[in-house]
Amino acid sequence: MSTATLNVDPQEIDKFSQLAHKWWDPNSEFKPLHDINPLRLDFIDRIAGLADQHVIDVGCGGGILSEGMARRGATVTGIDLAEKSLKVARLHLLESGQKVDYHCIAVEQMAEEAAGQFDSVVCMEMLEHVPDPASVVRSCAALAKPDGYVFFSTLNRNPVSYLKAVLAAEYVLGLLPRGTHDYGRFLKPSELSRMARDAGLQIVQLQGMDYQPFGQRYQLTDDVSVNYLLACRKA
């Protein structure tokens, strides 16, 4: 796959590359990812199970979720197009002692090379950063084995999510750097569900994630108005 046809926004790659050295600092700009990681892991583990499963983490970044899944007994492959983030991810393995197989490759290309090879495919907090999220959804579906699971998480698109995920998180509370999110790329659950069904996936569960600013903690909820997780299964 040529660079010209990659489903990638160079500005997004550059944005995360500049922050790459901070991936594993739990008090850095990546603090929200560290905070929600247990919730994401529990959601995946409860639905698909992680022990002894072959899992691919699409858009793995510095490996926070990848290592968490490996720690729960999964054989994990992580892919991303930000080489600096992958370098940090590989270096952290030396400290953690976990095993993750990292590759700098687009999910579309990975789907061509490894179709139907994974028990679970995980794509968290990535869809809102790419020009063509439907292409990512199709590729994730292609990577899953028959009856395998595919997990997504992203941000809903409505006034509440703009208020909380952009204005509050980036400008008021300072949870994320300003400019982290482009509201126009947020996806409604109905839109993502349609993409998933069009890719041959069956919807298993939809769950929200909510941030409590006063307790400074995240929790799973039935409210999907801002952050949400979608679990699917390949037909």
The strand order across the sheet containing 144-155 reads: 100-104, 75-80, 54-58, 118-124, 144-155, 227-234, 201-212, 217-221
Residue 113, number of CB atoms within 10 A of its CB: 10
Q: Tell me what the mean pLDDT of segment 7-16 comes to.
A: 82
Residue range 43-77, pLDDT digits in tens: 999 999 999 999 999 999 999 999 999 999 999 99
Nearest CA among 34, 31, 23, 3 for reference residue 87: 23
Q: Tell me what the mean pLDDT of segment 188-207 comes to.
A: 98
Q: What is the pLDDT of residue 1?
A: 46
Whole-angstrom distance, CA of residue 137 vs CA of residue 140:
5
Specify the higher pLDDT residue, 1 or 122. 122
Q: What is the pLDDT of residue 19?
A: 79
Instruction: Determine whether 48 is exposed, middle or buried from the number of CB atoms within 10 Å of its CB (0-12, 13-18, 19+).
Output: buried
Whole-angstrom distance, CA of residue 191 vs CA of residue 217:
28
Share of residues in the chain with pLDDT > 90 (%): 70
The one-letter amino acid code at 63 reads G
Q: What is the pLDDT of residue 2?
A: 41
Q: What is the pLDDT of residue 182?
A: 74
Q: What is the pLDDT of residue 3?
A: 38
60 contacts 66 by C-beta, under 8 angstroms: yes
29 contacts 48 by C-beta, under 8 angstroms: no
Residue range 88-134, pLDDT digits in tens: 999 999 999 999 999 999 999 999 999 999 999 999 999 999 999 99
* pTM of the predicted protein model: 0.90
Whole-angstrom distance, CA of residue 201 vs CA of residue 187:
17
Q: Tell me what the mean pLDDT of segment 76-95 comes to.
A: 97
pLDDT category of residue 187 using cuts at 50, 70 and 90: very high
Q: What is the pLDDT of residue 97?
A: 98
Looking at the DSSP bridge assignments, the partners of residue 64 are none
